[in-house]
C-alpha cells in the first residue's frame, strides 16, 4: 500500500496546465491548457487519451454528473465532448469576441453554466439554448455554484486603474428566475467568493481588496455574521490580510481561506473561529476542503502541497511540487491533482482519506 502523498500519475504536458476536473465517480481526471490540448486519464489502469486539440488555450473543464461528457472553455467558445469517443457533441460562443473563463454543470446535468469576463449564461445541454443570462457591470473575478445548482455567487471587480475603493460587490443570483437574491454593500474589489447551501441557513463568504473577509446569511446582505479585516480590526491596529481563495467544506461546517500572507486557515463557518491552519513561505495559491470533512489542502508560491487536518493541528503529508497553476480534488477525497508548466501530477491521499 502506497503511503499518503504518493504519486499516482506524473506525466508531461505540452504547455501550461490551466484547468483540471475529476469525474463525479472519481475514476477519471482531465487536464487542459495551452494549445487547446485536453488529456483524460483513468485513475485505475489505462492509457491517457486526447479528447481535443486546437490552437485555443483551455481555461476550464467540467465533467457531466453522469461522466459521459466533458465541457471545455477556451478563448473563443464552449465545447462539449463525448468521453467514450472523443466526438464533439456541440460548441458555440457565449458572447462575440469574449473568451469563456469558467464552465460548470448543474448537479442534475441538464444545464451548463458558462462565464465570460462580464456575462454568465446558463445553457440547456440538450437544446443548447440559453436559459438565463446575467450581465455583470464589470469583470467577474470569481464564481461559485450552489450544491443544488439553483444559485450562482459572483465576485465582482469594478476597479478603474488602481482605485480599489468601493470597487466591487458580492452577488448571489437565482438564475432560473433571473433574480438577484443577495448583493453586498460596495466594497473593495471582490476577488474570491464561496457559497454554502448545505445548512438550514445558506451562507456566502467573500474576500475583497480592502483586506476584509466576511460571511453573510443570504437573507442579510447588510450585516455579516462575522468579518475579519473590517473597520473594527483596522481601528484596533490588527494586521489582517484578506482571503484571495475561499472554499466551503461538506455541509457548510467549515470554510477555508487562503491569503497572500502565506496562511491557509480553516474556520468554523458560522462563527469565524479558527480551527487550524497551514503555513506557506509565500502567498497561498489554491485551497480545498476534502469531502470527507477530515482534511484540507493548500498550495503556495513556495511550491509545496500540504494536506492537513481540518479540525485540529496535524498534517497528512507535505510534498514539494513544481509551480502549481491549477488544483482539483476528487469527490471521494482520495486524489489531488496539480497542473504545472509542462506537466501534471495526481497524488494519492491513501485509503484512509
Bridge partner list, 168: 157, 187
Residue 47's pLDDT is 64
Q: What is the pLDDT of residues 95-127, one digit of tens each?
A: 877 889 999 999 999 999 999 999 999 999 999
Q: What is the pLDDT of residues 245-297, one digit of tens each?
A: 999 998 889 999 999 999 999 999 999 999 999 999 999 999 999 988 899 99
Residue 36's pLDDT is 81
Quick one: 144 exposed, middle or buried, by C-beta within 10 A (0-12, 13-18, 19+)?
A: buried
What is the full DSSP assignment across 50-108? Answer: EEE--SSPEEEEEE-TTSSEEEEEESS-EEEEETTT--EEEEE-SSTT----EEEE-TT
Residues in the chain: 353
Choose the CATH number for 1-124+324-353 among 3.20.20.30, 2.130.10.10, 3.40.605.10, 3.60.20.30: 2.130.10.10
Residue 248's pLDDT is 95
Q: What is the pLDDT of residues 11-53, one digit of tens each?
A: 999 999 999 999 999 999 999 998 788 999 999 766 667 776 6
Residue 207's pLDDT is 93
Higher-confidence residue of 162 and 309: namely: 309
3 state SS of 256: strand
Q: Can you tell me the distance from the alpha carbon of 183 to that of 28, in angstroms, rounded to the nearest whole number?
A: 37
Residue 188's pLDDT is 79
Higher-confidence residue of 230 and 21: namely: 21
**Is 311 within 8 Å of 294 (Cβ atoms)?**
yes
> For residue 2, what pLDDT band results from cuts at 50, 70 and 90?
confident
Residue 151's pLDDT is 93
Half-sphere exposure of 294 (CA within 13 A, CB side): 11
Residue 236's pLDDT is 60
3 state SS of 127: coil
Residue 30's pLDDT is 96
Strands 274-279 and 284-289: unpaired
Residue 137's pLDDT is 77
Asked if pLDDT for residue 59 goes beyond 90, the answer is yes
Residue 235's pLDDT is 61
Model's pTM, two decimal places?
A: 0.92
The domain limits of the chain are: 1-124+324-353
Residue 232's pLDDT is 61
Range 209-230 average pLDDT? 90
Residue 159's pLDDT is 61
Asked if pLDDT for residue 138 goes beyond 70, the answer is yes
Q: What is the pLDDT of residues 246-260, one digit of tens each?
A: 999 988 899 999 999
Range 291-317 average pLDDT? 95
Q: What is the pLDDT of residues 141-156, one digit of tens each?
A: 999 999 888 999 999 9
Q: What is the pLDDT of residues 60-101, one digit of tens each?
A: 999 999 999 999 998 889 999 999 888 999 998 888 778 899
Q: Which of 170, 29, 19, 169 is nearest to 100 (CA)?
A: 19
The mean-pLDDT minimum among 150-159, 234-243, 288-297, 329-338 falls in: 234-243
> For residue 200, what pLDDT band results from cuts at 50, 70 and 90?
confident
Amino acid at each position: 500500500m502506497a503511503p499518503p502523498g504518493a504519486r499516482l500519475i506524473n506525466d508531461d504536458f505540452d504547455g501550461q496546465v490551466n484547468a483540471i476536473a475529476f469525474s463525479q465517480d472519481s475514476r477519471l481526471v482531465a487536464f487542459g491548457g495551452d494549445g487547446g490540448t485536453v488529456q483524460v486519464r483513468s485513475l485505475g489502469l489505462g492509457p491517457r487519451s486526447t479528447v481535443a486539440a486546437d490552437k485555443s488555450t483551455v481555461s476550464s473543464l467540467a465533467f457531466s454528473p453522469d461522466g459521459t461528457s466533458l465541457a471545455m472553455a477556451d478563448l473563443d467558445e464552449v465545447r462539449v465532448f463525448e468521453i467514450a469517443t472523443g466526438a464533439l457533441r456541440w460548441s458555440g460562443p457565449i458572447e462575440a469576441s469574449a473568451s469563456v473563463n469558467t464552465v460548470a454543470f448543474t448537479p442534475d446535468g441538464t444545464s451548463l453554466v458558462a462565464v465570460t469576463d462580464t456575462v454568465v449564461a446558463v445553457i440547456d445541454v440538450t437544446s443548447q439554448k440559453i436559459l438565463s443570462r446575467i450581465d455583470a457591470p464589470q469583470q467577474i473575478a470569481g464564481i461559485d455554484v450552489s450544491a443544488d445548482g439553483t444559485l450562482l455567487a459572483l465576485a465582482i471587480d469594478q476597479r478603474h486603474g488602481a482605485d480599489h475603493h468601493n470597487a466591487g460587490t458580492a452577488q448571489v443570483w437565482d438564475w432560473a428566475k433571473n433574480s438577484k437574491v443577495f448583493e453586498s454593500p460596495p466594497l473593495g474589489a471582490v476577488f474570491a467568493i464561496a457559497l454554502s447551501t448545505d445548512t438550514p441557513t445558506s451562507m456566502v463568504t467573500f474576500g475583497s481588496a480592502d483586506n476584509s473577509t466576511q460571511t453573510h446569511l443570504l437573507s442579510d446582505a447588510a450585516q455579516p455574521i462575522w468579518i475579519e479585516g473590517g473597520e473594527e480590526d483596522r481601528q484596533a491596529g490588527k494586521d489582517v490580510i484578506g482571503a484571495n481563495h475561499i472554499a466551503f467544506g461538506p455541509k457548510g461546517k467549515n470554510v477555508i481561506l487562503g491569503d497572500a500572507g502565506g496562511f491557509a486557515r480553516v474556520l468554523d463557518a458560522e462563527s469565524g473561529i479558527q480551527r487550524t491552519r497551514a503555513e506557506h513561505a509565500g502567498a497561498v495559491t489554491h485551497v480545498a476542503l476534502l469531502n470527507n470533512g477530515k482534511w484540507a489542502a493548500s498550495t503556495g508560491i513556495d511550491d509545496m502541497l500540504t494536506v492537513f487536518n481540518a479540525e485540529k493541528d496535524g498534517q497528512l503529508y507535505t510534498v514539494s511540487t513544481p509551480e502549481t497553476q491549477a488544483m482539483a480534488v476528487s469527490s471521494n477525497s482520495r486524489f489531488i491533482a496539480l497542473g504545472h508548466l509542462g506537466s501534471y501530477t495526481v497524488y494519492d491521499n491513501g485509503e484512509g482519506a
